[in-house]
Each structure stands twice: as C-alpha cells, then as structure tokens.
C-alpha cells in the first residue's frame, strides 16, 4: 500500500516539475542523490515559511500547493499533521473534512457525520479520524476561501506525511519542512497505534525514517532543515526525548488555553514560563495580533513579547501573513509588502508564516538579496 | 485676476496648513513616515521609468481629492497627482469626481440642503442626488469629504482634514512640494457642466479650465524645458474638449477611454470607433497618449483570470502614443487571480510584460516601492 502511494506522488511530482516555471534545462537532482550538491537553505535573513503551501493560490496542503511554494522560492513548507482512522499520518489542517474537501457531496459517507468535543467545544462534521487513508484519498480538496481562486477545486487529494516529506526532499535545492503536531489530545483520544505508541511517537518516527535529525544549524540540520511546531507544550517536551530537532511552541489567541495543560495565554507568555520552555524549544510562534493588538483595524501599542523572547534567545515566528486587504490593518494601506517591512524591519521577527510565499520571496529578494557583513543574529544554536 | 491669485494662495495655505496639522495627528505607528526625504532639494520629475500617477491622491488611505490625500501622495513619491475638475453653481472649478455629492460627502447630514436633492440626466441616464452644480463654492466648503469605500480607512471621515478643494488649491499643493510634482487634471463631464453652469463672460468650462492652468504658468509641449518644470497632462473622455483645448494650450493631453459598452459623452461614439486605426490616427494630432480602462486592454474571464491582451498598446505605441491605464488598486477584489492577490505582481505585469507608460493608482506608495525596489533589476 505504501509503495503505491509513494509511486503516485513521485509521478505527480515529476508531472508538476514538468509544468513548473523553473529552468527546464536544469537537471533534476534530489536529496536522495548524495553526490549532488544542492543550493543550501538561506540563513542570513528571516525565514519564509509557506503556510499550508502556497495556499493563497492553490488549495491548502496539496502537492500542487507545496510544489508551487517551492517554485516561488520558499525556505520552508509548512503542514499540519493529523491522523486517519487506521493510523496514517496525513497533511490536513482541520479535524473535520467539511471546509476543504468535497466530503459533503459524497453520498457514500453521508452516514459518518459526528459530533465530538474538540478542545472543550462541540464540533459537528466529518472527522478525519473516522476515515481510513484509502477513503480519505478518494476525496478531493477545495480552496477554503471563496475569495481565492476556485479553479483547482476537485483536482487534488490529501497527502500523507511521507508524501509531503518526499516533495521537500525531491526539490532541486534544499527546502526545509515545518510540520505541526496538530490536535494531539484529540488524535490520541480517537486513534490508537499498536505497540503502545501514540501520535507523537509516530510523528517523530516518520521524520527519523527520512533522516531528519540534528540540532538547529548543525550540519545534519542544514542538509534536512526542520522545525517541529505545536500548540501543546507536553507534546513538545515528550518528543524532546526522541529527537533533538528544533521545536517551536505555538501560541494562540489570548482567550485560548493550551489544550493539554489548560494554561492561559498570560501564563505561557510570562517570563517564568518562557524560561522554562526554553529548555525544550528554540522559539515561539504567536498569532500576530497578540504581539501587537489592533484597535479599529489600526495597530495598537506593541506588547513586549518579542523583546522578552529575544532576550531569552527564543526566535519569534508569527502567523499568519496574507495578502487580502481584509487581513491587513490600515497602517499598511492594504499593501502586504508594507506589512512584511514592518514585521521584519521594525519589529524584527525571525520568520513569517505566510499564505503567499511568492510575495514574501519577492520582498526579501528585492530588499535583502545578499548577506551583508553585519549578520543579523537570530539566536544561538539550540 | 491678481487679487484672486493672492486670495487663493492664502486660502490654499490655510488648507495646506490644516491638512499638515491633522496629518500629524492622524498618522500613527511607524509606517506613517514619508518615503521621500522631507529635507530634499527640489528634485526634478523622473522621466526614465513609467509615471506613478496618484489617482485622486493617495485615496487608498485618505478621502479622495482632499488636500490630505494629495499631500500624502506627494510624501509617498508620486510623480503626478491626479484630479477630476468639475464646476460649482457660481462657476468655481473644484476637485471632485462624481457629479453628485452623495457617495463621498456628508451632504445627507446637512438639513439645510435637503431640498436640493433632484434628478437630472447625466450621459443619457437619470441620476438622483445632490448635484455639485447646484451648490456655491461657499456651500461646498461647509461639507466634509468621506472615504468612498467601506473597506478603506474611514477614520478621517468628517474630520477637519477633508473639505473639497478648488483647482487652484490643488495646483498649489503641487507647486509647494519640495520636489517637482506634476499635475494630471481631468476635464470631467464637460457636456453636463456646460449645460448647468454658465459664466458671465461667455466663456465655457474648457476655457476656465485652461485659463487656470495658464495662470499658474503651465504650458509647453511634452518634454520641453517649460513642461519639465511644471509637468502636466490634461485628460478627458470627451474628444471635442481635448480638441478645443488644443487651440488654447500646447500642454500634452491624454484621451481617456471607458469600458467597451460606454459611448463618448460629447460625440456619442462607440468604443470600437474610438479605438479604431483611423480614429487613433486622427486623435494623434491632438493628444500624446490614451488612458484606457485596464480590463479593455487585457480582458478578464468570468473566473477572474486574464485572457489574451488586445493589440491596443501596440496600436498606440506604433503611433507614438503613450498608454496610461486606470486604475490600480491593492485590494484583492480588484486583482485578477493571475496576480495572486499581490498588487506588485500586477504592477510587474503591466509595466514589464505589457509595457505601458504610466499607471493611475489609488496606492502611489505601493507603486513607488515596487519601482524603487526593482529599479536595479531593470
């Protein structure tokens, strides 16, 4: 079963490479060819993280969205890892299939709608944990937002974690991966693995299988760059015993407590907590509107979160940066590049999660194409 | 005439000062600093790359055609500030886009004007509202301009930042700038204006428009020394107004072209007719360029993607005519999907792929950034 999926994704990858904008004359090498020296990951300027792939243009977390992101110059492709009923790890953001697949039109699955509690709230829909991988593969992904391009709806299917990793490894330059241990409490409640393993174990196992290892900025890491992210601190602490790859603690809205430890935003952003979690993570990934809360769609006064994080040598990777004007505070006059400029030059964060990796890449290339003498210090190796 | 000049300059000074004051208070956050150094010497107009034309001022950020919107555009590095010139009941020329006051002023809140709402025919359609030609300049000055679009910053609506300004005040903003800033005024709805406003000296709207420009020393063919010191393009959708103006001034003129379904206001000609080879050959005697609606140059599909470009740009360029399409806006609802909701991708396509000579934009700061950042690459 696995080899069939791998073969199909390789075919898909090759087909897409054929149609990409990249130089057709360039020979295609992959990280699997140890004799070939790929263009390395840039590390002199903030990281460009393709949030769910280039999902501003193509339905999120599909092969096409990731391949487009790589074409557009992203540093990292980002994904959310959930699980299927039969324990396969998949790339998918929501616990339910409703908003980004054609599940509602699949009469064969009509009877599988359920209501479950997810992070203290009842949700109704078709849950990924109630479908086998084969069933999930029969679905087709669609663009989540009505104001984005709908022309690819129904064309692509859901990827496995393995397939996602292979897309990164097959790129003809070094492209990092940024997977999230998503909704681990919920997943571990609904999906069981043999041998006493749980979701976090399977997650790391997959990474180790493909040779991802090494502390931040080590030689191993630079060859296969990786950040592991999660909103659940205990998941990150747990996996610290099985991988030394760099990890980031995601931080949600100020009203949302952590799903595993039930701690408030204020607790987990306190100096004491940041000093504690610094033993396990090299950075934090906050929602940008908590760093600088807006007032009437203008930026309010900035909090000191970035300064305090940096003082502890924690990187800051805020989410999410989107081009559409409904997401831009008026200070930026509806210009996503003004927002990049503000966050990267004024606030000085270390990376951005963006739905529009192509735009961010252009901004970075136009304003910081080369490393200059005074290298910006982004925090020590973990 | 001299007295008027002095009076207008004084008034304009007050308008400008007020705008400066309020701008200082209104702007907040680190992004409000100007892109062009305020202390710079009077730097000439750039003519080496396509023109950045601030359409109605920096109206993406501030209410359109106000002093504040124009000054913001100057601050942000626009090459030209653009305005629509219409006339008041007592014959003053003012900067205002619509013939009615409804969409962009607080006229509906002024009970004293309630009875003035009426229905008139404008370009063969009945329009109901408060017509600017029914108000004196003094009355208009009691109104406040507001941001037209609900999705743009409305925090300046109704503040003292935003009265309607006169053509004179607009010109003063350009001339008072610390670098050479061109003006791009439009002879707007001339047929309607001439129907409803009469000047005592028997002159008509076009005469008054050109006289104002001359009063401030605008004149000279495109790229003459005189022109580069006081750059101007005169635009209009009405060919007869442009031809008439050609007798009064040698300043460069641009022929605006509307959507494919819209006929010219004065000559009742179709889009096909005015974009034909013969017609462009004819207009070439009077204008230096055309200003088409961008979706007629490269038509979009119903799925919001671009189709094949028409040959309009090639036809214009073959006749030595510049092409200045309108209008470029940052908001994603105005961007075809090819541009992935990125206004800079749209600039890139139009300036580098299609190869036009100027862009009317609601966001001169964004266009300026794009041009500066990619200058080295070109």
In a domain, A109, yes or no: no
**Residue B377 CB neighbours (<10 A):** 9
* Residue B2: predicted pLDDT: 20
In a domain, A301, yes or no: yes
Decide if pLDDT at B28 tops 50.
no
Q: Nearest CA of chain B to the CA of A76: how many Å?
A: 19
pLDDT of residue B100: 98
Asked if A206 and A91 touch (Cβ cutoff 8 Å), the reply is: no
Specify the pLDDT at position B156: 86
Q: Which residues of B touch A56 (CB under 8 A)?
A: 340-341
Query: Stretch A318-332: mean pLDDT, rounded?
Result: 98
Q: pLDDT class for B124, splitting at 50, 70, 90?
A: confident
Quick one: what percent of chain A has pLDDT higher than 90? 86
pLDDT digits (tens, 9 = 90+) for A341-356: 999 999 999 999 999 9
**B36 vs A277, higher pLDDT:** A277
Contact A325 B32 (CB under 8 A): no
Position B26 pLDDT exceeds 80: no
Helices B2-26 and B167-176: crossing angle in degrees, nearest 10, is 70
Do the domain assignments include residue A381? no
Give the pLDDT confidence of B224-258 residue by residue, as tens digits.
999 999 999 999 999 999 999 999 999 999 999 99
Token look-up 């992004």 returns B31
pLDDT of residue B183: 98
pLDDT at B157: 85
Residue from A294, A301, A325, A332 whose CB has the most chain B CBs within 10 Å, to mutate: A325
pLDDT at B10: 40
Most A CBs within 10 Å: which of B63, B332, B339, as the mutation test of the A interface?
B332
Distance, in Å, from the CA atom of A162 to the CA atom of A210, rounded to the nearest integer, reads 9
Q: Assess whether pLDDT exceeds 70 at residue A21.
A: no
| Residue A268 lies inside a defined structural domain of this protein | yes
Top-confidence residue, B83 or B1: B83
Q: Is residue A363 part of a domain?
A: yes
User: What average pLDDT does the segment B103-116 reach?
Assistant: 96
Query: What confidence tier does A36 reach under pLDDT thresholds 50, 70, 90?
Result: low
Chain B environment of A341 (Cβ under 8 Å): 31
- Provide the pLDDT for residue A365: 97
- Binned at pLDDT 50, 70 and 90, residue A327 comes out as very high
Contact indicator for A180, A60 with CB cutoff of 8 Å: no
Q: Which residue has the tokens 């510049």?
A: B322
Query: Mean pLDDT, chain A, as a whole number?
Result: 92
The DSSP element (H or E) to which A232 belongs, if any, is: none
CATH of the domain at A320: 3.20.20.190
- Identify the closest residue of chain B to A302 by CA–CA distance: B29
Residue B338 neighbours by CB under 8 Å, 6+ apart? B305, B306, B345, B349
Classify each residue of B341-369 as buried b or exposed e, where b means 16 or more C-beta atoms within 10 Å of its C-beta: bbbbbbbebbbeebebbbbbbbbbbbbbb
pLDDT band at B340 (very low <50, low <70, confident <90, very high): very high
**Which among A57, A346, A359 is the nearest to B30, CB-wise?**
A346
Please give the backbone phi and psi of residue A193, each rounded to the nearest 5 degrees, phi first. -115, 155
Element of type H or E holding A193: none
Distance CA B235, CA B240 (A): 12
Both tokens assigned to B157: 């609506």
Domain housing A314: 47-94+157-367
Among A278, A279, A281, A298, which residue's Cα sits nearest to residue A289?
A298
* Residue pair B329/B362 in contact by the 8 Å Cβ criterion: yes
pLDDT of residue A370: 85
**pLDDT value of position A134:** 98
| Nearest neighbour of A356 by CB, restricted to B155, B305, B341 | B341
CA distances A228 to A15, A200, A202, Å, are 29, 11, 13
Per CATH, the number for B51-98+163-376 is 3.20.20.190
Distance in Å, alpha carbon of B278 to nearest chain A alpha carbon = 40
Provide the strand spans (E) within chain B: 51-54, 80-87, 93-95, 118-122, 125-129, 182-187, 234-236, 253-257, 289-292, 322-323, 358-361
Cβ pair B363:A333 closer than 8 A = yes
> Is the pLDDT confidence value at B98 over 50?
yes
Cα separation of the two ends of chain B: 48
Q: Do A151 and B305 touch (CB under 8 A)?
A: yes
Q: According to the model, what pLDDT value does residue B23 have?
A: 44
- pLDDT score, position B27: 40
Q: Does B151 touch chain A (CB under 8 A)?
A: yes
> Is a pLDDT exceeding 50 seen at residue A297?
yes
**Average of per-residue pLDDT values in chain B:** 90
pLDDT bracket for residue B37 (50, 70, 90): low
| Residue of chain A whose Cα is closest to the Cα of B304 | A149
From the list A151, A346, A356, which residue is nearest B303 (CB)?
Answer: A151
Beta bridge partners of residue A1, listed in sequence order: none
State the complex-level ipTM: 0.88
Q: What is the pLDDT of residue A382?
A: 42
Interval A211-227: pLDDT, tens = 999 999 999 999 999 99
CA-to-CA distance for A101 and A89, rounded, in angstroms? 17
Yes or no, beta carbons of B30 and A297 under 8 Å apart: no
- State which residue of chain A sits closest to B378, comparing Cα positions: A366
Secondary structure letter of residue A156 according to DSSP: B
Q: Could you tell me which residues of chain A have a Cβ less than 8 Å from any Cβ in chain B?
A: 54, 56-57, 147-151, 296-299, 323-326, 330-338, 341-342, 346, 356, 358-359, 362, 366-367
Task: Give how far B43 is from chain A: nearest CA, Å.
Answer: 24
Query: In the prediction, which pLDDT does B18 show?
Result: 45
Q: Quote the pLDDT of residue B227.
A: 98
Asked whether the predicted pLDDT for residue A283 surpasses 80, the reply is yes
User: What was the pLDDT predicted at B158?
Assistant: 75
User: Is position A333 within any domain?
Assistant: yes
Tell me: pLDDT of A25 over 80. no
CA distance A41 to chain B (A): 23
What pLDDT does residue B104 have?
96
H-helix or E-strand spanning residue A91: strand A89-91
Question: Which residues on B lie below 8 Å from A330 (Cβ)?
Answer: 61, 152-153, 155
Judged by a CB distance cut-off of 8 A, whether residue B330 touches chain A is: yes
Q: How many domains are there within chain A?
A: 1
| Helix residue ranges, H only, A158-216 | 161-170, 184-190, 199-209
Does residue A193 fall inside a structural domain?
yes
Identify the band that residue A371 occupies on the pLDDT scale cut at 50, 70 and 90.
confident
Whether omega for the bond prior to residue B48 falls within 30 degrees of 0, making it cis, is no
pLDDT in tens, B259-298: 999 999 999 999 999 999 999 999 999 999 999 999 999 9
**Hey, are the CB atoms on B151 and A326 less than 8 Å from each other?**
yes
pLDDT (tens digit per residue) in B128-184: 999 999 999 999 999 999 999 999 999 988 776 679 999 999 999 999 999 999 999
């Amino acid at each position: 079963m696995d080899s069939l999926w791998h073969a199909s994704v390789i075919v898909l990858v090759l087909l897409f490479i054929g149609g990409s904008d990249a130089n057709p004359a360039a020979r295609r090498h992959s990280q699997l060819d140890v004799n070939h020296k790929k263009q390395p990951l840039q590390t002199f300027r903030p990281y460009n993280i393709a949030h769910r792939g280039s999902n501003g243009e193509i339905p999120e977390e599909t092969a096409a969205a990731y391949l487009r992101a790589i074409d557009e110059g992203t540093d990292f492709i980002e994904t959310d890892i959930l699980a299927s009923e039969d324990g396969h790890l998949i790339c998918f953001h929501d616990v339910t299939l409703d908003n980004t697949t054609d599940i509602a039109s699949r009469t064969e699955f009509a009877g599988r709608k359920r209501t479950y509690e997810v992070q203290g709230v009842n949700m109704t829909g078709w849950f990924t944990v109630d479908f086998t991988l084969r069933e999930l593969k029969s679905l087709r992904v669609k663009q989540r937002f009505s104001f984005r391009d709908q022309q690819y709806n129904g064309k692509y299917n859901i990827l496995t974690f393995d397939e996602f990793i292979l897309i990164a490894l097959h790129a003809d330059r070094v492209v990092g991966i940024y997977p999230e241990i998503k909704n681990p409490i919920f997943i571990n409640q609904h999906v069981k693995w043999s041998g006493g393993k749980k979701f976090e174990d399977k997650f790391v196992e997959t990474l180790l299988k493909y040779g991802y290892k090494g502390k931040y900025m080590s030689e191993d890491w630079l060859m296969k760059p990786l950040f592991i992210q999660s909103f659940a601190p205990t998941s990150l602490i747990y996996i610290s015993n099985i991988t030394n790859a760099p990890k980031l603690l995601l931080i949600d809205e100020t009203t949302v407590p952590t799903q595993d430890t039930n701690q408030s935003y204020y607790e987990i952003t306190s100096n004491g907590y940041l000093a504690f979690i610094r033993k396990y993570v090299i950075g934090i990934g906050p929602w940008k509107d908590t760093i600088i809360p807006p007032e009437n769609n203008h930026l309010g006064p900035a909090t000191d979160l970035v300064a305090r994080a940096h003082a502890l040598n924690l990187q800051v990777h805020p989410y999410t940066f989107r081009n559409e004007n409904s997401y831009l505070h008026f200070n930026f006059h509806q210009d996503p590049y003004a927002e990049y400029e503000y966050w990267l030059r004024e606030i000085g964060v270390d990376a951005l999660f963006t739905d529009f990796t192509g735009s961010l890449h252009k901004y970075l290339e136009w304003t910081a194409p080369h490393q200059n003498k005074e290298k910006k210090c982004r925090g020590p190796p973990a | 005439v001299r007295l008027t000049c002095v009076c207008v300059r004084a008034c304009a000074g007050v308008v400008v000062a007020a705008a400066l004051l309020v701008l200082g208070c209104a702007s907040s956050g680190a992004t409000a600093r100007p892109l062009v150094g305020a202390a710079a010497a009077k730097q000439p107009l750039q003519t080496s790359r396509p023109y950045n034309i601030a359409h109605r001022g920096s109206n993406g950020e501030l209410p359109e055609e106000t002093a504040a919107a124009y000054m913001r555009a100057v601050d942000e590095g626009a090459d030209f500030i653009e305005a629509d010139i219409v006339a008041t009941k007592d014959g003053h020329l003012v900067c205002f886009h619509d013939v009615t006051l409804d969409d962009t002023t607080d006229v509906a809140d002024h009970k004293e004007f309630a009875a003035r709402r009426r229905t008139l025919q404008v370009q063969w359609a009945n329009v109901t509202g408060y017509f600017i030609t029914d108000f004196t300049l003094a009355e208009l000055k009691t109104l406040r301009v507001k941001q037209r679009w609900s999705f743009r910053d409305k925090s300046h609506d109704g503040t003292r930042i935003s009265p309607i300004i006169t053509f004179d005040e607009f010109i003063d903003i350009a001339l008072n700038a610390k670098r050479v800033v061109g003006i791009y005024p439009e002879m707007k709805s001339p047929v309607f204006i001439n129907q409803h406003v009469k000047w005592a000296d028997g002159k008509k709207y076009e005469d008054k428009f050109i006289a104002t420009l001359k009063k401030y020393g605008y004149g000279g063919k495109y790229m003459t020394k005189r022109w580069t010191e006081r750059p101007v393009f005169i635009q209009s959708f009405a060919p007869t107004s442009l031809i008439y103006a050609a007798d009064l001034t040698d300043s460069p003129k641009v022929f605006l072209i509307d959507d494919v379904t819209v006929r010219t206001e004065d000559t009742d000609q179709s889009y096909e007719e005015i974009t034909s080879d013969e017609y462009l050959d004819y207009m070439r005697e009077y204008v230096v360029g055309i200003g088409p609606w961008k979706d007629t140059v490269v038509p979009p599909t119903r799925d919001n993607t671009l189709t094949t470009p028409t040959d309009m740009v090639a036809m214009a360029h073959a006749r030595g005519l510049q092409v200045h399409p309108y209008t470029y806006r940052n908001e994603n609802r105005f961007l075809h999907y090819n541009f992935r909701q990125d206004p800079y991708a749209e600039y890139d396509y139009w300036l580098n792929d299609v190869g036009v000579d100027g862009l009317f934009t609601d966001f001169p700061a964004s266009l300026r950034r794009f041009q500066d950042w990619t200058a080295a690459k070109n």
